[in-house]
Copies of this chain bind each other. A is one copy, B any other.
Amino acid sequence: MAGNTFGKLFQITTFGESHGDGIGVVIDGCPAGLEITREEIQKELDRRKPGTSHLTTPRQEKDQVEMLSGIFEGKTMGTPIALLIRNQDQIPAVYEPIKDLYRPGHADATYDAKYGMRDWRGGGRASARETIGRVAAGAIAKKLLAHAGIQITGYVTQIGNVKITQVDESTITTNPLNCPDATVLDAMIQEIETARKDLDSVGGIVEIIARGVPAGLGEPVFDKLSADLAHGIISIPAVKGIEIGDGFACASKHGSENNDEWALKNDNNNNSHIGTTTNHAGGIIGGISNGEDILLRFALKPTSSIAKKQQTVDRNGTSAEIEVHGRHDPCVAPRAVPVGEAMVALVLADHYLRNKISRIETL
């Protein structure tokens, strides 16, 4: 019930503050017998960890994962899997001077309003470090999905005013931005560099594709696949919008343009199946996957922590000026790619399991 649990069958509970002892996650509901290594989890964490380029926060965190339970002799046991990542490079002293000030764009005031207190040593639970638990759990979800033939790919499509013009997936891992378009990469880097030099930050957009998703995933009417994806994605820090398939562009279209017609199609093995000839829907119809690629996009606001001077108040309402120094990403979109993939993986793993019990004839 409390808000730190996500998923219903493949269920995760995360814990930890940015400047506490560590960040962790308990995964409950992962089927027994799934092969998983520490390295497979670490690899995903390494994709989101800070300090890998001059375009991200210089905070040095190795983010080494410790597997506390649930895995034995290289396989999941069906028991809860607890993963712990210790915090190491904390400098809470940076925050001491501004501990009573409400940083614009930050959750300081809202945590105070809700809980009557907050961990002022950095972002606490509202820090993006919280997403470490999601990514660690997502690595296991991805492994389960691989078993089901599902792969997930994410990349940046926009940073500031620079948008991609093409997608070449082989390009994604060759640059620190997770950008799939070499032709705009320099311009994107420039957007970030400029923002940083201005003591400012900049927003962006990330796109995720899930391939190999079988038709049938999603539980209408409230746990539609689209609804659960939206829930998971919007819960990522800094995300302010999501769209599935053509999304907001649908609003100005006609049904005859937007409907995806059904046809008999051949898959890679030349087996025929019913599919659609276009994919405006982003692979989800009526809240259930239709066998086409799942496609979604989400918008990230510019990082709230900026060194530029801003007006604010302290917790008593007294006016003040603030400069937020700390160590922050001038643009969170690149590092949001593995986080977005993780959330999509978690939702799909959950629905993959839920769909296994939807028909009497397959029980």
Q: Point out the residue from B200, B253, B299 that lies within 8 Å of A202, measured CB to CB.
A: B253
Task: Give A30-70 interface residues, CB cut-off 8 Å to B.
Answer: 31-34, 66-70
Contacts of A82 in B (CB 8 A): 15-16, 24
Closest CB in chain B relative to A327 CB, distance in Å? 15
Asked if A201 is an interface residue, CB under 8 A from chain B, the answer is yes
Task: Give A1-24 interface residues, CB cut-off 8 Å to B.
Answer: 1-9, 11, 13-17, 20-24
Question: Are the C-beta atoms of A357 and B360 separated by less than 8 Å?
Answer: no
Question: Are the C-beta atoms of A15 and B68 separated by less than 8 Å?
Answer: yes
Contacts of A256 in B (CB 8 A): 198, 200, 306, 308, 310
Asked if A118 is an interface residue, CB under 8 A from chain B, the answer is yes
Task: Give A152-179 interface residues, CB cut-off 8 Å to B.
Answer: 158-161
Instruction: Please name the residue on chain B nearest to A17 by beta carbon.
Output: B69
Q: Point out the residue from B144, B230, B360 that lies within 8 Å of A231, measured CB to CB.
A: B230
Question: Are the C-beta atoms of A255 and B201 separated by less than 8 Å?
Answer: yes
Question: Are the C-beta atoms of A255 and B116 separated by less than 8 Å?
Answer: no
Interface bits A213-252 vs B (CB < 8 Å: 1, else 0): 0111111111110111111111101011111111111111
- For the complex, give the distance between the alpha carbons of A201 and B258 in Å: 10
With contacts A21-B69, A285-B107 taken as known, whether A216 is within 8 angstroms of B114 at the C-beta atoms is yes
Instruction: Please name the residue on chain B nearest to A28 by beta carbon.
Output: B2
Question: Are the C-beta atoms of B221 and A301 separated by less than 8 Å?
Answer: no
Q: Point out the residue from B116, B195, B202, B281 that lies within 8 Å of A359, measured CB to CB.
A: B116
Interface bits A179-210 vs B (CB < 8 Å: 1, else 0): 00000000000000001001011111100000
Contacts of A255 in B (CB 8 A): 105, 195, 200-202, 301-306, 308
Q: Point out the residue from B11, B15, B107, B250 that lies within 8 Å of A300, measured CB to CB.
A: B250
- For the complex, give the distance between the alpha carbons of A290 and B113 in Å: 8
How many chain copies does the complex carry?
Answer: 4
Q: Which of the four size classes fits the interface of chain A?
A: 35 or more
Q: Point out the residue from B148, B222, B312 that lies within 8 Å of A4, measured CB to CB.
A: B222
Question: Are the C-beta atoms of B68 and A16 separated by less than 8 Å?
Answer: yes
Instruction: Please name the residue on chain B nearest to A70 by beta carbon.
Output: B15
- For the complex, give the distance between the alpha carbons of A111 and B354 in Å: 14
A34, A81, A288, A306, most chain B CB atoms within 10 A: A288
Asked if A317 is an interface residue, CB under 8 A from chain B, the answer is yes
With contacts A28-B13, A147-B360 taken as known, whether A111 is within 8 angstroms of B288 at the C-beta atoms is yes
Instruction: Please name the residue on chain B nearest to A320 by beta carbon.
Output: B262
Asked if A150 is an interface residue, CB under 8 A from chain B, the answer is no
With contacts A222-B4, A359-B31 taken as known, whether A262 is within 8 angstroms of B102 at the C-beta atoms is yes
Instruction: Please name the residue on chain B nearest to A24 by beta carbon.
Output: B82
- For the complex, give the distance between the alpha carbons of A21 and B277 in Å: 36
Interchain Cβ contacts under 8 Å between A and B, 23 examples: A2-B223, A3-B224, A4-B79, A6-B222, A13-B80, A14-B221, A21-B66, A31-B358, A32-B117, A79-B119, A105-B285, A110-B286, A116-B359, A159-B251, A161-B252, A203-B254, A203-B258, A222-B232, A230-B234, A231-B234, A243-B299, A255-B303, A272-B317
Considering the complex of A and B, which 7 residue pairs feature the smallest CB-CB distances, nearest first?
A107-B286, A3-B219, A241-B243, A2-B29, A3-B223, A2-B28, A32-B115
